[in-house]
Amino acid sequence: MGKYRELVFNITLITIGSILFVWALYCCGIGIDWRVFLILLAFAIILDNLGIMYTDIKLSLSPTIGITTFLIFGTVGAATLMVSSVMFDTIVVRKKIKNGLLNGGMFSIAYLVAGWFYEFIGGKIGIVSFSQVKYILSYVIISFLLNNFILYYALKVQGKILFKEYWNESVLLELGTYIVMIPVSLLLAYIYFKHSLLFFVLSLTPLIFIAYAFRMIRDLIKANKRLNAIYEMVKMINSKLELEQILDTIIEVISQVVSVSAAAIYLTDSNGVAALVKSIGNREGEEGFKENYFKDEGIIGKCISSNTTIAIKDL
């Protein structure tokens, strides 16, 4: 039943997104300067790849390019750019065709509907002024809410449980970055209309350095947390504490460093049978752990028989 529901959802999302996109192109046209559009698309793809994954949500500066494109070219132009960017990143870079089609459908719906609402309430395309801020804010919030509503339901249909633990925190963080991007996008659109194309491109370039700097800082913080975790675990193992206390500390440290819905420690006996000795996490996550695993039984059994680490990026 779960797989059927996921299939229906996927087909519905891709179909609605595709129909809306084709209809918008047919009725409204795209109306863009392709040279500028391709430059913006290149920046959007680069910024998207420099994004930071936070559970199932990617935080990046690419929406700045999307908002800027919207201010310059309007609803269909911005939707075309965002759909092209996310599909390129997902299908070409990450080699996930299904996810690319789903993301394309999601972005098509979110950015087209938000743009049409912007125009409906009186927002103007090609005009960069403080009087437009309230309309731009509505565009950003509606596209954001639609994206996250669809994403939330998609993850729910797929049966993912990790995202529930961090959803509110990650969504608020992402919304904050979107709102901060509005004045930057207004400035970039103003530069486009008032200055040369070369100056506009030069104005976009700092975004890449900022995104790269944030990514480097994030990587350093993660590396530091991992080193501290290793240090704490080694210290506990070398201590004279009881095994139960050592296991409690190890699993607690692991859960703090790695974003997981549940974690467990198994110890093997002389016959190679792994017995569950400690687990932590939410109820749904812990239900996935069996009391015992034999050699070659499941992922844990394969770890035992091969005596190696098995890392799976996405179950």
pLDDT tens-place values along the chain, 315 residues long: 567 788 888 899 999 999 999 999 888 777 788 899 999 999 999 988 887 765 556 677 888 999 999 999 989 999 999 999 989 988 988 888 888 899 999 999 999 999 999 999 988 888 888 888 889 999 999 998 898 888 888 877 776 654 555 566 667 777 777 888 888 999 999 999 999 899 999 999 998 998 888 888 877 877 777 777 777 777 777 776 677 777 777 777 776 666 666 777 787 877 777 777 777 766 655 566 777 777 777 777 777 777 777 776 655
Orientation angle between helical segments 75-87 and 34-49, nearest 10 degrees = 40
Residue 286 tokens, joined: 């812990």
The pLDDT assigned to 29 comes to 77
Name residue 216's amino acid: M
What is residue 64's three-state secondary structure?
helix
Task: Give percent helix, percent strand, percent coil of the chain, each to the nearest 5.
Answer: 70, 5, 20
pLDDT of residue 165: 55
Say what the pLDDT of residue 20 is.
Answer: 92
Residue 148 pLDDT: 83
DSSP 313: S
Q: How far, in Å, CA of 194 to CA of 297, rounded? A: 65
Segment holding 46, helix H or strand E: helix 34-49
Report the pLDDT value the prediction gives residue 40, as an integer from 0 to 100: 93
Fold topology of 2-206: Arp2/3 complex 21 kDa subunit ARPC3 (1.10.1760)
pTM surpassing 0.85?
A: no
Tokens of 4: 């059927």
Contact 91, 97 (CB under 8 A): yes
Q: What is the pLDDT of residue 118?
A: 93
| DSSP bridge partners of 54 | 57
Q: The tokens of 77 are what?
A: 């132009």
pLDDT at res. 240: 62
Q: Delimit the CATH 3.30.450.40 region(s) of the chain.
A: 225-306
Identify the CA nearest to 71 among candidates 196, 192, 176: 192
pLDDT of residue 283: 61
How far apart (Å, rounded) are the C-alpha atoms in residues 82 and 114?
Answer: 13
What six digits make up the tokens of 240?
């004279």
**CATH superfamily, domain at 225-306:** GAF domain (3.30.450.40)
Q: Please, where in the chain does CATH 1.10.1760 lie? A: 2-206
Question: 152 Cβ partners below 8 Å, 6+ apart?
Answer: 163, 167
58-68: b (≥16 Cβ within 10 Å) or e: bbbbbbbbbbb
Question: According to the model, what pLDDT value does residue 130 have?
Answer: 80
What is the DSSP secondary structure assignment for residue 130, as one 8-state letter?
G
φ, ψ of residue 268 in degrees (nearest 5): -95, 150
Question: DSSP class of residue 99?
Answer: H
